[in-house]
Amino acid sequence: MSGANLLEPANVASVVGFCRKQEADPSSVDAVDTGKNGLIACGIFLIVLAIYALSNPGRIDITDGEARFDVAHNWLVTGRPIMRDRWIAPFMSVPGRGELRYSYYGAPASVFSMPLVWLGLHTSGPAIQRSQFLFSFTSSIIGAGIAPVLFLFYLELGLIQRKAFAWTMVSSFATLVWPSSNTTFDNAQHAFFALAAAYFGFLSARRRSLGFAVLGGLMGGILVLYQGYFLLIIPALALLTVEGEVGEGSENLAPGTKSEAILSRIAFSANRAVRGVMAFIDAAWQGKGETRSSCVRCCVFLAGVGLGLIVSFAYNHLRFGAWLDDGKVRAITASTYPLFGNPMAGLLTLLISPGKSILLYSPTLIFGFLGIGYFWRQHRKIAQAVVLSTIALVSFLSCIDFAAGDWCWGPRYLTILLPLWALAFPFIPVKRLSQHTVLAIVGVSFLVQAMSLTVETQRFFFERGFKDYFWVEDKWVYFKHSALFARVGETLTLADGPPSTARFFSSAPATEGCTYTILGPPPQWPRSISPIWMRNFKIYYLPRPWPLWMSYLPPALRPVRIGDWLLGLFGLTVLGAGLIHRGFQQGSER
């Protein structure tokens, strides 16, 4: 049965009934049948990982990734999280302890990649290309982890296995999560830890478990280690540890004009929220049953987040000798562009611009918007967490000058929200969209994600001669240019192959390497020369997935054997499919 069949009235009724049954007797439903569901979750992870790995660029595709790789590599080699790269370090790091240079990024993206970097160093001798190749799969591995967590979350919400599987595949391959998992940016990693924090927080309330609250808090703490501004969404995620409503009250609005009614409603809601929170704290303090237990779980969750914050402070002190200095402010000051920009331009860019609209880059998000009302009625706490997280994060991102997160594909900073909104995908009211419309939206969104993986992302920016900080000069640039619309033509040119002027493979300073990040023209050159300059390099005119561009290189220059890796990925796919089949088979036997 396809995921879209969930829209049929009989199936919607069965989902609602299933959810009620789960509330009445959680031990009697599939959501707690850990054996078969665990098999399916493992199979989903392996299949998604294999596809993500197959479509990965297999090289460091952005300078941010090269900086994180340099930290991981030097941490393994020298025992310090320093940067020594001769081309990247001067502008991607700031001076710190011992007159050494340190990255201003958080530690997790480098730490989680260290096993891959270590494996490359110990299988390829002095060459570093295999380590860079393996490092590029960090986000693919962690991003693939979103799928099994989402699948298990769906089961907890009352979906049967096959529907949960179908909607998990929609989230994995028809949203921005796929291209975000195939880059050395770390946004897919953020999405995994945000979803994991929400999932364990939800389980802590449903199972009344402090252990799950601890796990959820630790996931949230790791999220804060990546970027401090993720503290903005932590309160919303912490709500999931609370069982029941925080406060209740009856709405009694005075008559008046429309504007008076709106103001009265806002005042009433604020007053009810304040009274509810105070009543919740008072009940918890006096030790009243579940209210106290919810408060304890919430505090434990926040303590886990606090542990991550403490580690973040310690990492700052290790690098810069100060607990609160992470180097970002100094880096932004040195780059001469402002931190904050035009909030209206930022908001409209993220929502409706042709160049960066989240709805254009993830059309399936419309399912979340249409389903959030029904989802709110069925699972109020989760819906509240999703909406509040979105408001907090989008409000902040709209105010910063680089809201689009360039140079990149799509509004990458919003990737963290997509798995959370995917929780509402299956709850579309039947009358809103037909089955054919749902399938059409999924198909278009899948095509958008597939196109994102065809061509080198930075080609779009070089072809237009953009300056390094072009968004500073023109706040409305993405209402004039669109990488998404340009990608159609770029993909078609792949059939022509590289131009005759392309003498080198990559624009990396080390021209003999193929896995080092590409850089633009020399700083002293005018950026208007970029469209001509880039025609010297094959990388901008070859397919982006590693098995394709690597086949253009002589075998001696390839970091890995293509055939061996393709065989291994095929084996992962077969194993994953077998686990999924076995899990469904066990379910049918029951």
| Torsional sign, CA 137, 138, 143, 145 | positive
| 7 found inside a domain | no
258 burial type by CB count under 10 A (0-12 exposed, 13-18 middle, 19+ buried): exposed
**Spatial separation of the C-alpha atoms in residues 425 and 433, rounded to whole Å:** 12
Please report, for residues 21, 58, 215, the alpha-carbon distance to residue 28 in angstroms, rounded to integers and kept in the order given.
8, 45, 25
**Spatial separation of the C-alpha atoms in residues 133 and 188, rounded to whole Å:** 18
C-alpha closest to that of 13 among 150, 169, 171, 158: 158
Using an 8 Å Cβ cutoff, are 570 and 46 in contact? no
| 511 found inside a domain | yes
Tell me, what's the pLDDT at 509? 81
Please report, for residues 231, 407, 543, the alpha-carbon distance to residue 58 in angstroms, rounded to integers and kept in the order given.
32, 18, 12
Tell me, what's the pLDDT at 512? 62
The terminus-to-terminus CA distance of the chain in angstroms comes to 18
Using an 8 Å Cβ cutoff, are 505 and 537 in contact? yes
Tell me, what's the pLDDT at 267? 53
- CB count within 10 Å of CB 251 equals 9
HSE (side-chain half, CA atoms, 13 Å) at 348? 10
Tell me, what's the pLDDT at 124? 67
Q: What is the pLDDT of residues 482-505, one digit of tens each?
A: 999 999 999 999 999 999 999 999
Q: Virtual CA dihedral for 346, 352, 354, 360, nearest 10 degrees?
A: 120
- Residues near 72 by Cβ (< 8 Å), separated by ≥ 6? 110, 111, 113, 114, 117, 135
**Spatial separation of the C-alpha atoms in residues 394 and 403, rounded to whole Å:** 9
**Spatial separation of the C-alpha atoms in residues 414 and 421, rounded to whole Å:** 11
**Spatial separation of the C-alpha atoms in residues 187 and 499, rounded to whole Å:** 33
| 531 found inside a domain | yes
Helix axis angle for 161-173 and 562-589, nearest 10°, is 150
User: pTM higher than 0.85 for the full model?
Assistant: yes
Tell me, what's the pLDDT at 430? 73
**Spatial separation of the C-alpha atoms in residues 251 and 510, rounded to whole Å:** 68
**Spatial separation of the C-alpha atoms in residues 44 and 32, rounded to whole Å:** 18
The three-class DSSP label of residue 209 is: coil
| Torsional sign, CA 536, 542, 544, 549 | negative
**Spatial separation of the C-alpha atoms in residues 62 and 186, rounded to whole Å:** 11
Q: Virtual CA dihedral for 466, 467, 472, 476, nearest 10 degrees?
A: -10
C-alpha closest to that of 85 among 510, 456, 505: 510
| 447 found inside a domain | yes
Using an 8 Å Cβ cutoff, are 237 and 197 in contact? yes
**Spatial separation of the C-alpha atoms in residues 139 and 299, rounded to whole Å:** 31
Domain boundary among 87, 113, 136: 136
Q: Extract long-range pairs of 4-12: CB within 8 Å, 24+ residues apart.
A: 4/166, 4/435, 4/438, 4/439, 4/442, 5/163, 5/435, 6/159, 6/163, 6/166, 6/167, 6/426, 6/428, 7/428, 7/430, 7/433, 7/434, 7/435, 7/438, 8/430, 8/435, 9/430, 11/163, 12/430
Domain boundary among 136, 151, 169: 136
How far, in whole angstroms, is CA 122 from its chain's centroid?
Answer: 30
Domain boundary among 136, 151, 170: 136
Give me the domain span that covers residue 86. Answer: 63-136
Tell me, what's the pLDDT at 513? 77
**Spatial separation of the C-alpha atoms in residues 286 and 278, rounded to whole Å:** 12
Domain count, the chain: 2
Per residue in 507-517, is it b (16+ CB within 10 Å) or e — as a string? bbeeeebbbbb
201 burial type by CB count under 10 A (0-12 exposed, 13-18 middle, 19+ buried): buried
Q: What angle do CA 352, 357, 362 make, to 5 degrees?
A: 130
| Torsional sign, CA 250, 256, 261, 263 | negative
| 74 found inside a domain | yes
| 358 found inside a domain | yes
Low-confidence residues of the chain: pLDDT under 50: 1-32, 246-260, 262-263, 266, 274
| 307 found inside a domain | no
| 479 found inside a domain | yes
Residue 160 — φ and ψ, nearest 5°? -75, 165
The three-class DSSP label of residue 128 is: coil
Which residue intervals of 103-247 are DSSP H helices?
108-111, 114-121, 129-135, 138-144, 146-156, 161-173, 177-180, 187-207, 210-226, 234-238
